[in-house]
């Protein structure tokens, strides 16, 4: 229960960080364009904000989470970070989106087939690797951010 509350609060914090970064980026871009004597319209600004948010959601969040959590796992050996803590946070973040960006859906579409092939190989795999591959293979139950995160972890483990 406490872990759920923490994930929810951290997801809210991530949202605040992304929103703040989006606003700062858009304001700086607007200032830059004004300096170049290029007028930016309100609908252009909204489009830029949407593009920024989608890029952060579809690329930066899962990959940065994978880098940071893999570093923590490597130094601590605590698999809970990779199997439960960070995936729960990513699931909470994605649940707040309303609709998953189409680009993320396309990007993760081939992951289950790749995971299935890897699981079918007769090579020795650690319990953690098998767990990550099974999660990806179980998409669409697995959310897209989580699948991206797990795919990055497997890449770090050279699987």
pLDDT at 105: 86
Burial zone of 20 (CB within 10 Å; 0-12 exposed, 13-18 middle, 19+ buried): exposed
Q: Which 8-state DSSP code applies to residue 99?
A: S
Q: What is the pTM of this model?
A: 0.81
Burial zone of 120 (CB within 10 Å; 0-12 exposed, 13-18 middle, 19+ buried): exposed
pLDDT at 142: 67
At residue 1, does pLDDT exceed 60?
no
The 10s digit of each residue's pLDDT in 98-153 is 788 888 888 888 999 999 999 999 899 999 999 999 999 988 766 888 999 999 99
pLDDT at 76: 95
3-state secondary structure 26-79: HHHHHHHHHHCCCCCCHHHHHHHHHHHHHHHHHHHHHHHHHHHHHHHHHHHCCC
pLDDT band at 52 (very low <50, low <70, confident <90, very high): very high
pLDDT at 119: 94
Segments making up each domain of the chain, as ranges: 2-156
DSSP result, 87-98: HHHHHHHHHTSS
Compute the distance between CA of residue 81 and CA of residue 86 in angstroms, rounded to an integer.
6
Mean pLDDT of 57-66: 89
């Amino acid at each position: 229960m406490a872990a759920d509350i923490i994930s929810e609060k951290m997801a809210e914090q991530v949202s605040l960080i992304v929103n703040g970064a989006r606003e700062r980026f858009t304001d700086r871009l607007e200032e830059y364009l004004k300096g170049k004597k290029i007028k930016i319209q309100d609908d252009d600004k909204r489009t830029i904000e949407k593009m920024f948010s989608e890029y952060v959601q579809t690329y930066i969040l899962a990959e940065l989470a994978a880098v940071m959590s893999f570093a923590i796992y490597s130094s601590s050996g605590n698999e809970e970070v990779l199997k439960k803590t960070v995936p729960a946070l990513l699931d909470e973040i994605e649940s707040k989106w309303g609709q998953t960006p189409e680009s993320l859906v396309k990007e993760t579409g081939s992951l289950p087939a790749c995971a299935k092939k890897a699981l079918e190989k007769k090579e020795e795999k650690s319990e953690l690797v098998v767990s990550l591959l099974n999660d990806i293979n179980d998409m669409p139950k697995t959310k897209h951010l989580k699948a991206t995160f797990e795919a990055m972890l497997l890449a770090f483990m050279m699987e």
